[in-house]
Amino acid sequence: MSNYTRRDFLKTTGGIAGAASVGGLVWGCGQKKQAAKGEWKGFKYSMCNESMRELPWEEQCSIIGNSGYKGVEIAAFTLVKNGVGDISTGQRKDMVKTIQNAGLECVGLHWLLAPPPKGLHFTTPDATVRAKSVAYLNELIDFCGDLGGHVMIFGSPKQRSTVGAESVEEAKKHFVEGLAAVADHAQQRDVKILVEHLDHTQTNVVNTLAETLDIVKRVNHPAIDMMFDFHNTKDETEPFKVLIKRYYDHIQHIHVQEMDGQYLGTGDAVTKYVGSFQLLKDLGYNKWISLEVFDFTPGGKTIAEGSMKALKEIEAKLV
């Protein structure tokens, strides 16, 4: 596979058809009951699946489980040709069995609106397209719930950026309206939709944690919250620890990777992230930390094993 970075992904997701096999496709892989705040029992690590999307589902789960992760986070576009409606009830149940057989739990979904299906956009002035996008988000909520997942990470930069002469504020208004439209359904399925902050090189709509929290507060629903991604802090002016502490009450999920998007251990994350992980431990963080990388060149097994080795090296430095 050629070098495939986050920017390459962002350029191509307008037409990706998602080629991963669903072979022995997945019902009920829920999160374990979280420990009370302060009872830190080690971090829960999961891995996003798109770096292995060319492999059969069973092999993806096996690599993730054998590498020491406890959860899998799914980019639905990697499993389908047309949309999650392709995956039947029976196949979803089989997917869950495969996840569980690998010693994993289903964390949830990300890259929510990356095609297929094509033509989705959540903040466009076109009300018909927005309605179609909201409807598909509801389908994804059911898919996530059927797999036992509890979080859906709303990044999807291409599907939330402004269109034409639309202003950023108009796009944010549509973003809020769309999230509000699915919030009750998400709550019914025990799913939280977490808005992801993405820097200005990826989208012009919601670039900082402050803007993300503003969207969450405008929706004002328990099923809508936010997450933290180390890679996406390029527009922030304060250190990781300050940001984590400030937004901790709303951080329901974390994505981690080297700052250049490669797998952990290829850069300076092992030393650079120690203070943040120490703070998370001190605060009793007991939600998921998911590995999400954007250079798939080394292959899923190397990415999984190398990153887990780095995570354990970080943990070894904590007190």
Which tops the pLDDT comparison, 20 or 272?
A: 272
The pLDDT confidence band at residue 23, using thresholds 50, 70 and 90, is very low
CA–CA separation, 201 and 199 (whole Å): 6
pLDDT of residue 40: 62
Q: What is the dihedral of CA 216, 221, 222, 225, to 10 degrees?
A: -20
Of residues 216 and 24, which shows the higher confidence score? 216
Pair 74, 112: CB distance under 8 Å: no
Conformation bin of residue 171: beta by default, left when phi > 0, alpha when psi is -120 to 50: alpha
The pLDDT of residue 14 is above 80: no
Predicted pLDDT of residue 302: 98
Cα distances (Å, whole numbers) of residue 180 to 125, 142, 151, 231:
17, 16, 16, 27
Q: Which two tokens stand for residue 105?
A: 């739990």
Q: What is the mean pLDDT of the chain?
A: 91
- Please determine, for residue 34, whether its predicted confidence score (pLDDT) is greater than 90: no
pLDDT tens digits, one per residue of 86-105: 999 999 999 999 999 999 99
pLDDT band for 42, please (50, 70, 90 cuts).
confident
pLDDT grade for 132, boundaries at 50, 70 and 90: very high
Q: Determine the 3-state secondary structure of 74 from DSSP.
A: strand
Over residues 222-267, the pLDDT tens digits come to 999 999 999 999 999 999 999 999 999 999 999 999 999 999 999 9
Q: What is the DSSP string of 83-112?
A: -GGGS-HHHHHHHHHHHHHTT-EEEEEEST
pLDDT in tens, 65-92: 999 999 999 999 999 999 999 999 999 9
Amino acid 276: pLDDT? 98
pLDDT score for 39: 59
Q: Is the pLDDT of residue 270 over 70?
A: yes
pLDDT of residue 177: 98
Is residue 30 predicted with pLDDT exceeding 80? no
Please tell me the predicted confidence (pLDDT) of residue 41.
80
**C-alpha to C-alpha distance for 269 and 292, rounded to whole angstroms:** 14
Tell me the torsion sign for CA atoms 120, 124, 126, 130.
positive
pLDDT value at 28 more than 60:
no
Global confidence as pTM: 0.89
CA distance 211 to 208: 5
DSSP calls for 187-216? HHTT-EEEEPP--TTT-SS--SHHHHHHHH
Mean local confidence (pLDDT), 296-317: 98
The domains located in the chain, with CATH, are: 6-30+46-316 (3.20.20.150)
Rounded to a whole number of angstroms, the distance between the first and last alpha carbons of the chain is 40
The token duo for 307 is 């990153």
Given a cut of 60, whether residue 285 has pLDDT beyond it is yes
Residue 185 pLDDT: 98
